[in-house]
Structure 1
Amino acid sequence: MQSSTPSPITNDLIDSLPPQDRVFFLADCETIDLAFGEVITEPGGRILHVFFPLDGFISLIASLGDSERLEVAMVGSEGMYGMPLTLGLDESPMRALVQGAGPALRMPAAVFGRHLEQCPALQALLKRYLYVLMHQLSRVAACTHFHQVEARLARWLLMTQDRAHSDQLHLTHEFLATMLGVRRAGITLAAMALQARGLIRYYRGDITVLDRASLIEASCGCYAADRSLYRRVITEEGVTEGG
């Protein structure tokens, strides 16, 4: 993780703050580069910084053992990493793994705590974002149990595309299997099915989204539900409260 040159602010949470609060908040942030595969914290580890991705994104992974892992949430330019700090806790319950390299804004935990105490708008915004994360966690649990692998893979590719801001994704079958909590063979069959329908092109870990609209139709309803909830709770409420 290295410091980076300033980048245009594209984090939706920060952009939802009232202008004056946003200026004060950004003054205490530094722009860094998230490196692919970097582990920010392990389960039980101390959260030293909060991160607001601009173009990179972070996977939150629940672990039951060395080989039993499942991605339960994804944080990109729509959100932040470090939410336990808003509850007065500095311990991470999950593994935080950089899944997409790119710039992010970073703030020390102690400084973030002071902003949280002094800025009611930030408190209100992050309470709403916490609700969105709770919804995402609960839906992942249900989705993993009830929905077919092909539909779940379509949903996961769409979520990744949104945060990568690109149609080009580099994702191996082994990595996808870990993220979705299924066998590699299941990912292979699901990817082949999506490719046969002309929705994606897959070759040696490189995935290209060819038909986003049809990929949305192929995904389970969880993808549309997540986006709808975010718009209602964060975007629309933020406009109402922030003016």
Structure 2
Amino acid sequence: MSSKHDPNQNHLLAALLDAEFDRLAPHLELIPMPLGDVLYESGGKLAHVYFPTTSIVSLHYLLENGGSSEIAGVGNEGVLGISVFMGGDSTPSRAVVQTGGFGYRLPIRVLMEEFNRAGPVMRLLLRYTQALITQMSQTAVCNRHHTVEQQLCRWLLLTLDRLPTNELTMTQELIANMLGVRREGVTEAAGRLQGYGFISYRRGHITVLNRMGLEGDVCECYAVVKKEFARLLSDTRNRQPARQ
């Protein structure tokens, strides 16, 4: 594994005990996750779970008429493919790369062998799943009750939390697809945020100039999600020493 790319860039992998990580490490495969890449389709059978490191993946729910909206995002804090250890081998959502980068994939068989030990790995993955469900629930509430401007602020802040930079590569059309709103609504909301001096937007690139401004404009949904992830996953930052 290259020193430039390290599985410990993913917070869940970094939180494993040495013995657990050592059992998984030989099976972790570094893969590129380019923008727009589909990791799995709705209803498809999963062969791997994915641990993003420098990429962010959007989970979309697809409607029969072809419409879709984001139900959650997964970055270096999490794992994609929770359905495999929650009792199923497929998922109703599509996983598409929102921010290009890298990640690691792990065969389901290997993960399930570790999960079925009913030890720290199982408890960690279940805590992460609870946090992810909170994000999904809050996204549904936000999309129903809050303005496009507030939704855009929430989305920008959650994306920033997973990146080492304040610059995002994302078109307004893609953001509209994520939020499940019309592109015109995103254009108006982004224009207002730019007018406030919170962001700069040009040619598919968004630069956040004033994060505190976004935090002051966002609805409560961002804080709810961030607080729940912090509560459940406060120990997912550094490798834990093996217990004696």
**Alignment TM class, shorter chain as reference:** over 0.9
CA distance in 2, matches of 1:88, 1:112: 13
Provide closer, same or farther for how the CA distance between residues 217 and 69 of structure 1 changes in structure 2, counting only shifts above 3 A: same
1:62-101 aligned at under 5 Å gives the runs 62-101=61-100
Written as runs of structure 1 = structure 2, the 5 A alignment for 1:164-179 is 164-179=163-178
Structure 2 CA distance for aligned equivalents of residues 142 and 23 of structure 1: 40
Give the corresponding residue for 1:182.
Answer: 181
Change (3 A) 1:238 1:193: closer
Q: Distance in 1 between matches of 2:183 and 2:237?
A: 41
Q: Number of matched residues?
A: 239
The answer (yes or no) to whether the contact 1:5–1:31 under 8 Å persists in 2 is no
C-alpha contact 1:100 1:164 (8 A) present in aligned 2: no
The 8 Å contact of residues 43 and 90 in structure 2, kept in 1 or not, is answered as: yes
Name the amino acid aligned to 1:207.
I
Give the alignment's Cα RMSD to 1 decimal: 2.0
* SS of equivalent to 2:54: coil
Structural mapping, 1:116-195, within 5 Å: 116-118=115-117, 120-195=119-194
C-alpha distance after superposition, 1:98-145 (max 9, x if no partner): 111111111111121112123510000111111111111111111100
Unpaired segments of 5 or more residues in structure 1? none
CA contact (8 A) 2:15 2:236 kept: no
Kindly provide the amino acid, as one letter, of the partner of residue 217 in structure 2. A
Query: Cα deviations across residues 14-65 of structure 1 (Å, max 9, x unaligned)?
Result: 1122232222222321111111111111110011100011111110000113
Aligned partner letter, 1:65? E
Q: Would you say the 8 A contact 2:12–2:236 is kept in 1?
A: no
CA distance in 2: counterparts of 1:90 and 1:107, whole angstroms? 14
Residue identity opposite 1:88 in structure 2: G
Higher-RCO chain (CA-CA 8 Å, sequence separation at least 6): 2
Any unmatched runs of 5+ in structure 2?
none
Q: Aligned partner of 1:203: which letter?
A: R
Shift in Å, 1:72: 0.4
Mean Cα deviation higher: 205-214 or 19-28? 19-28
1:26 aligned residue: 25
Partner of 1:44 in structure 2? 43
SS of 2:113's equivalent?
A: helix
8 Å CA contact retained: 1:48, 1:109:
yes
Determine what percentage of the aligned residue pairs are the same residue: 36
Contact 2:15 2:235 in 1 (8 A): no
Instruction: Name the CA distance, whole Å, in 1 between partners of 2:66 and 2:156.
Output: 22
- 2:169·2:204 contact (CA, 8 Å) conserved in 1? yes
| SS of match in other structure, 1:95 | strand
C-alpha separation in 1, matches of 2:102 and 2:236: 27
Structure 2 residue matching 1:235: 3-state secondary structure: coil
Q: What's the TM-score once normalised by structure 2's chain length?
A: 0.92
